[in-house]
């Protein structure tokens, strides 16, 4: 994998001056400019003369007047209809050294070249780049806890190393809770490790700096039940708010029997408790190939994720319906295995593996924008999603595929 990082400050492409002798670094559409005066130019006198010659300039046109001991310069906003003012400045070779158009400084973006397709789909359309890439913010989920409520997580796997750490054994995984008699979160099934690698793996996952908290709900006999699920959720409910960090639950287990139209209120009650405490809840839609009834979600702000195939078509096994708010790749998944600390498997399939991709995107958003209420996070995911329309079993459908937040197209080094 090749990673490239954009510098945090990129002014503009130097286009050269057009009909002017003063060098001008231009940004198309920018009307705000940093004007660098000559070292011997008296800025007070220059600005007074400029305002006298162009009285039509707004009174607040000079947004910043910098200390000349620091930089003999000022920032000015010139309305498009007053372009003659900029022409005047650019022609004043006696007093002006250069002009730089102002731009909005944006967050760094990291590019992972040739990633697993499951990642590339979360930051670009297939035909957007000549090759698949995964672009994501430099923050990469840092400071966000992803609670993987599952079969445990192999904390020693190389996918969970601390990015940039000198020690190859430093792990971002900690055992938060386990229903087993030894209280450990070792993963003997592999499901939890695979899920965690998609949410936050170094090369396979979305949020590469997020913390992973293993919540093991499989008992010593390998079984998970509603009772063990509740025990794990109760732990997250009590532990997550006290950390002061944004928290996301990934729950890639069955949440309903059938279409959810005649379910006991237990699941919705638990989710309401968690989201009411500010904990974001992402769950898989399950693999029955049926339409979930509206009663299944009852307008709760949790995030149910369905599975798409390699052509962005709904996977035959995925549940669907209005409760399935988001979609992500769920077939031919490249995932961390448990055969060794560097083992990789390539045939994962299921909504279980679509959900953690969205949980990872949620972590990216929270790392970039800070804590927010669950309904607000749902809105953020929807605003940033790639929307694809199609049909399923003769009915029109809309697939919203969350995208890693980024503020500009990243470049390749």
Q: What is the chain's alpha carbon radius of gyration, rounded to the nearest angstrom?
A: 26
Place of tokens 């995984």: 173
* Beta carbons within 10 angstroms of residue 339's beta carbon: 10
Residue 295 to residues 114, 314, 321, Cα–Cα distance (Å): 41, 22, 11
Residue 144 to residues 123, 139, 280, 363, 397, Cα–Cα distance (Å): 20, 10, 11, 6, 32
∠ CA 197-338-118, rounded to 5°: 30
Question: Which residues lie below 8 Å from residue 328, measured CB to CB, with a gap of 6+?
Answer: 118, 121, 122, 305, 307, 308, 354, 355, 357, 358, 401, 402
CA–CA distance, 303 with 327 (Å, rounded to integer): 10
Q: Which residues are catalytic?
A: 150, 191, 352
Edge-first strand listing for the sheet containing 280-284: 173-178, 211-216, 145-150, 247-251, 280-284, 303-308, 324-329
CA–CA distance, 70 with 330 (Å, rounded to integer): 55
Tokens of 370: 């800070």
Contact 309, 289 (CB under 8 A): no
* Beta carbons within 10 angstroms of residue 311's beta carbon: 7
Select from 208, 214, 191, 215 the least CA-distant residue to 336: 191
CA–CA distance, 232 with 19 (Å, rounded to integer): 69
Q: Chain-centre distance of CA 128, in angstroms? A: 18
Structure-derived torsion over alpha carbons of residues 9, 12, 13, 19, reported in degrees to the nearest 10: -150
């Amino acid at each position: 994998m090749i990673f490239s990082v954009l510098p945090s400050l990129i002014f503009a492409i130097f286009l050269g001056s057009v009909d002017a002798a003063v060098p001008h670094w231009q940004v198309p559409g920018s009307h705000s400019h940093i004007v660098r005066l000559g070292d011997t130019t008296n800025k007070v006198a220059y600005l007074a003369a400029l305002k006298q010659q162009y009285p039509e300039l707004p009174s607040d046109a000079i947004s910043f007047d910098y200390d000349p001991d620091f930089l003999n310069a000022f920032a000015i906003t010139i309305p498009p209809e007053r372009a003659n003012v900029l022409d005047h400045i650019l022609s004043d070779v006696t007093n002006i050294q250069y002009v730089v158009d102002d731009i909005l400084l944006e967050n760094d973006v990291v590019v992972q070249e040739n990633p697993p397709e499951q990642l590339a789909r979360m930051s670009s359309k297939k035909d957007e780049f000549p090759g698949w890439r995964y672009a994501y913010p430099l923050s990469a989920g840092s400071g966000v806890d992803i609670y993987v409520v599952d079969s445990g997580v192999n904390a020693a796997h190389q996918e969970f190393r601390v990015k940039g750490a000198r020690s190859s054994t430093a792990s971002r995984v900690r055992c938060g809770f386990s229903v087993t008699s030894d209280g450990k979160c070792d993963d003997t099934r592999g499901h939890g490790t695979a899920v965690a690698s998609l949410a936050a793996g170094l090369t396979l996952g979305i949020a590469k700096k997020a913390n992973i908290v293993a919540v093991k709900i499989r008992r010593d006999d390998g079984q998970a039940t509603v009772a063990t699920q509740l025990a794990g959720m109760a732990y997250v409910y009590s532990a997550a708010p006290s950390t002061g960090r944004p928290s996301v639950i990934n729950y890639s287990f069955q949440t309903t029997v059938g279409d959810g139209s005649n379910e006991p209120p237990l699941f919705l009650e638990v989710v309401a408790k968690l989201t009411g405490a500010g904990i974001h809840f992402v769950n898989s839609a399950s693999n029955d190939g049926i339409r979930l009834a509206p009663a299944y979600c009852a307008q709760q702000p949790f995030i149910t994720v369905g599975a798409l195939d390699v052509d962005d078509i709904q996977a035959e096994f995925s549940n669907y319906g209005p409760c399935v708010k988001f979609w992500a790749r769920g077939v031919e998944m490249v995932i961390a295995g448990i055969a060794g600390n560097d083992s990789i498997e390539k045939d994962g399939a299921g909504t279980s593996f679509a959900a953690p991709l969205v949980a990872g995107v949620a972590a990216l958003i929270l790392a970039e924008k800070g804590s927010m209420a669950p309904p607000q996070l749902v809105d953020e995911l929807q605003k940033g999603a790639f929307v694809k329309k199609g049909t399923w079993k003769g009915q029109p459908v809309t697939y919203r595929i969350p995208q890693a937040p980024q503020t500009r197209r990243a470049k390749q080094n």
